[in-house]
Amino acid sequence: MSAPYSPYGQQDGHPPQDGQQQGYQGYYPPPGSWPRHGYLEGGPVDFQHAIRLQLRNVATFTGRASLSAYWWFALALFIIGVVGEVLALSVGSAAFTALITLVLIIAGLSGLSAGVRRLHDTGRTGWLLLLGLIPIVGTVIVIVLLVMPATAGENRFG
């Protein structure tokens, strides 16, 4: 009987030790081996922590946000938007639709700080988010900037 499949290339599912095969060949390293960075220092987070920590730091425009921190929160905003729109359409009340719209605007604005910190993580200023105001082209440019890899080590934003 063969050993169970391990995405980390080890028979027991543990990360490689010194002298063993290094690298993870396209897989994320196990949670205990992440670099020790805090949330505002660009450290990776999971879905639950991305939401919780962003809501705690909604007015914090300094520091850095990792790819996972930004995109997990963006996914949460997308889910809230879809559920809110479905509720607004199913109820059909103008007052309820206005309430849902207000909630979606507030939720969307809370993502601005995450976007600014994400651009800081790539070594760029948060003011580049304003490029998104340019129809189509600006939106594409902002998305490309948000998916760029982080700068290694310290940059001028942290």
pLDDT digits (tens, 9 = 90+) for 70-106: 999 999 999 998 998 898 889 888 888 898 889 889 8
Distance from C-alpha of 120 to C-alpha of 151, rounded to nearest angstrom: 9
Facing residues of 99 across strands?
Answer: none
Asked if the model's pLDDT at residue 34 lies above 60, the reply is no
pLDDT in tens, 123-152: 999 999 999 999 999 999 999 999 999 888
Residue 94 φ/ψ, nearest 5 degrees: -65, -40
- The reported pTM is 0.71
Contacts of 55 (CB under 8 A, 6+ apart): 110
pLDDT at 6 over 70: no
Of the pLDDT bands very low, low, confident and very high (cuts 50, 70, 90), residue 30 is low
Q: What is d(CA 31, CA 36) in angstroms, rounded to the nearest whole number?
A: 11
Domain ranges of the chain: 47-147
Q: Is the pLDDT of residue 115 over 90?
A: yes
pLDDT at residue 4 in the model: 47
Rounded CA separation 125/156 (Å): 10
**143: buried, middle or exposed (CB in 10 Å: 19+, 13-18, 0-12)?**
exposed
